Amino acid sequence: METFSSEYFEKLAHDIMFEVSAQEVAELKEEFKVLCQQIDVLNEIDTEGVEEMIYPFEAPTTFLREDVVENVISQEEVFTNVKNRKAGHIHVPKVVK
Amino acid sequence: MDIKTNTLESVETRIQKAIDKAHASQDKLNAVVSFIDPCEQIENLKAIDKSAPLYGVPMALKDNINTKGILTTASSRILDNYVPVYDATIVKKLQQAGAISIAKASMDELGMGGTNKNAYRGEVHNAWDTSRISGGSSGGSAVLVASGVVPFAIGTDTGDSVRKPAAFNGVIGMKPTYGRISRYGIIPYASSLDHVGYFTTAIEDAALLLEVLAGRDDQDMTSSYRKVETYASNINADISGKKIAIIDNVQEGVEDSEIKANFQALMDKLVARGAIVEHIRFQDNLMQALFPTYYILANAEATANHSNLDGIRFGMREDGESVEDVMIHSRTKGFSSYVRKRFVAGSYSLFVENQEKVFRKAQKVRRLIVEEVQKTLDNYDVIIASASGNIAPLSENSADEALSNESMVTENHMIIGNFGGFPSITIPTGFVKGMPIAINMSANAFDEQVLFNIGKAIEEETKLKGNDSEVKA
């Protein structure tokens, strides 16, 4: 069975922008043993030639149209949920140093 | 309490009673995240025709539904200060129908869970026995209806998040067809599985609510153009000739003899009313694959959907030396350990090297499961089974959704409704050890009416219309 290092879980977490503690990594190692067994349950099912099902219904509901301005929120509304603002912008730490 | 009974009193009286009950039960049930001052909504009623279907009816909304100017946390720390600047489409529809929101109801964090134990503001307790779980993720909404606070409440359902807590709390839980109700303005979990659903205590109310909530919304590209039917006035409890398929794979996992007996007695009554009740069996390997397929797809979609929760533009921000630090700190502290671990599982299946063998494999198995169920629905009006093999578990014995190698078909079969988008309803059928039990029925896409019709027949047999813990007490 596939085994995973602590670093592997730390990388998976870091890729989606958070950290996992040593205890969480230990729990994940146990949980992934079961996950792999469950993936084996799926592998026993023959899906040769089967298309992926992305949504329950596949009738297209998108159309080409001209861009229309709608659902605009004001600058003040944007700022209502922002912790730091400065000079009319959302303020974050320096990106370029 | 059903809507008709609720509206026997004046608007002011029933709203005030609902608010008083919600406050009085909060210590015991912890079902509410935020109480809503209804004054402005009551004032706005002046512009609404008194014949509007929900005129002055108090209700609760799950806390993942965006409400302009009202805290909307999705029971997550990362959104514990988030006040939306817009209303979800269904909030507008409910307002136009005259409904008055009195509370935002607790849920499992971001909808991820089936116990309502994983909520930032704490566990929600069952309306019938507070030592037991409410079920989740729409636990707060279920409990507020089941305890007689409001006659209906809105939830969302990605796996069985309306239908399972409905079963555990003895109320009706309805999840219509995928695309029947707009999801615009609802904090997502897994977009290919997410549905809006709701709780009521009467079949007529469930039908009426669908009339109010359903319909095309250009702001949700998955919403359907299908005509919205007059479900409530079309209800017909004459079920003679209706074909009902009992899912044997599910019933075989029900071990409680009282639940089995209750189910069989109900089936006998439906036969006596002229329904054709037969047994069917889905391929066992596909049923065994239900939960793993769900686990892979839901976590992967959730991981992608929640990448916008970074503490920068909204939500709780933790400071850091760089933008990346801010995001990492905010997300590490903002999500519970449980949710972060599920995101790791999602990240794993989306990782380039695993996509084909895990994520796409699950999407293919999903199609096979749906095709298998559809073959039965081509020949039957509905499929039916116990909503759960158990009464609501004691909180101390209840862990949240985790993978296990034990057979999980009986407790997870309602996922079928999310995979195929089939309309699906949970209806209470009685009590075991003082706790409610229920059945679940699903039908062909957009055939909600048959669920209401057979549901009405069931309601007449069980005599549980208007059931809540207050009535029973």
State how far the Cα of B44 lies from the Cα of B62, in Å rounded to an integer: 22
The burial class, CB within 10 Å (0-12 / 13-18 / 19+), for B252 is: middle
| Signed CA dihedral, B44, B46, B48, B52: sign only | positive
Distance of CA B31 to the CA centre of its chain: 15
**Chain B contact present for A36, CB below 8 A:** no
CB contact under 8 A, B404 and A93: no
Amino acid identity for residue B63 in this structure: D
State how far the Cα of B207 lies from the Cα of B215, in Å rounded to an integer: 14
Determine the residue among A4, A46, A57, A72 to mutate to test chain B binding: the one whose Cβ has the most chain B Cβ atoms within 10 Å. A57
Which chain A residues have a beta carbon less than 8 Å from that of B79? Answer: none
| The pLDDT value given to residue B405 | 57
Residues 6+ apart with CB under 8 A from B439: B263, B266, B384, B385, B386, B387, B426, B427, B429, B458
Q: What is the mean pLDDT of residues A18-43?
A: 95
Is B330 annotated in the active site? no
Is residue B240 within 8 Å of B459, Cβ to Cβ?
no
Amino acid identity for residue B162 in this structure: V
Which chain B residues have a beta carbon less than 8 Å from that of A93? Answer: 320-323, 325-326
How many C-beta atoms lie closer than 10 Å to residue B392's C-beta?
Answer: 27
| B165, β-bridge pairs | none
How many residues in chain A? 97
How many C-beta atoms lie closer than 10 Å to residue B354's C-beta?
Answer: 17
The burial class, CB within 10 Å (0-12 / 13-18 / 19+), for B1 is: buried
How many residue pairs from chains A and B have C-beta atoms closer than 8 A?
165
Q: Where are the beta strands (DSSP E) in B22-64?
A: 32-35, 58-62
- Say if residue A95's pLDDT is above 70: yes
| DSSP code for B154 | E
Phi-psi domain of B148 (left: phi exceeds 0; alpha: psi -120 through 50; beta: other):
left
CB contact under 8 A, A42 and B303: no
CB contact under 8 A, A52 and B367: yes
Closest chain A residue to B300 measured between Cα atoms?
A16
DSSP string, A17-30: T----HHHHHHHHH
State how far the Cα of B267 lies from the Cα of B244, in Å rounded to an integer: 9
Chain A closest-CA separation from residue B415 CA (Å): 12
Q: pLDDT tens digits for chain B (473 residues)?
A: 999 999 999 999 999 999 999 999 999 999 999 999 999 999 999 999 999 999 999 999 999 999 999 999 999 999 999 999 999 999 999 999 999 999 999 999 999 999 999 999 999 999 999 999 999 999 999 999 999 999 999 999 999 999 999 999 999 999 999 999 999 999 999 999 999 999 999 999 999 999 999 999 999 989 999 999 999 999 999 999 999 999 999 999 999 999 999 999 999 999 999 999 999 999 999 999 999 999 999 999 999 999 999 999 999 999 999 999 999 999 999 999 999 999 999 999 999 999 999 999 999 999 999 999 999 999 999 999 999 999 999 999 887 655 665 558 999 999 999 999 999 999 999 999 999 999 999 999 999 999 999 999 999 999 999 999 986 54
Q: Euclidean distance between the first and final Cα of chain A, in Å?
A: 46
Determine the residue among B338, B364, B377, B407 to mutate to test chain A binding: the one whose Cβ has the most chain A Cβ atoms within 10 Å. B364
Pairing of strands B58-62, B152-157: parallel
Could you tell me which of B94, B96, B69 has the C-alpha nearest to residue B84?
Answer: B69
Phi-psi domain of B19 (left: phi exceeds 0; alpha: psi -120 through 50; beta: other):
alpha
State how far the Cα of B345 lies from the Cα of B339, in Å rounded to an integer: 10
Burial B291-319 (b: 16+ CB within 10 A, else e): bbbbbbbbbbbbbbbbeebbbbebbbbbe
Is B62 annotated in the active site? yes
**Chain B contact present for A75, CB below 8 A:** no
Q: Residue B358 has which token pair?
A: 């895990």
Q: Residue B58 has which token pair?
A: 């108090």
- At B184, phi and psi to the nearest 5? -60, 130
Confidence of residue A62 (pLDDT cuts 50, 70, 90): low
Residues 6+ apart with CB under 8 A from B204: B2, B3, B4, B232, B235, B456
CB contact under 8 A, B370 and A56: yes
Is B137 annotated in the active site? yes
Closest chain A residue to B81 measured between Cα atoms?
A81
pTM over 0.95: yes
